[in-house]
Amino acid sequence: MDRLKLTVIPDDKPVKLTIAMPAAVFRDLAAYAEAIRREGGQAAGPEPATLIVPMIQRFMATDRAFAKARRKKVGPLDSPGGS
């Protein structure tokens, strides 16, 4: 029998987190959302909370030390089920 091209389907179900952040960080997040609104010439900008995921993704994608550690598969940086 031929091998299947797909073997394991990653669990991409969103995970809901509740976080507490300093008020100053939230104000900066709101200011960033406002800057996006102004730059895009939009009537309404994104909600500050919607900026968190893309910011974290961008941060991790550009962190060279994290990428290097991930390539080496160091301890807790391994994702469940491998990647």
Whether this model's pTM surpasses 0.85: no
Per-domain residue ranges for the chain?
23-72
Q: What is the pLDDT of residue 48?
A: 92
Q: Where are the beta strands (DSSP E) in 3-83?
A: none
pLDDT at 71 (0 to 100):
85
Q: Is residue 24 within 8 Å of residue 36, measured between CB atoms? A: no
Provide the phi-psi class of 63: left if phi over 0, else alpha when psi is between -120 and 50, else beta: beta
Task: Assess whether pLDDT exceeds 70 at residue 1.
Answer: no
Looking at residues 20-30, what average pLDDT do you find? 96
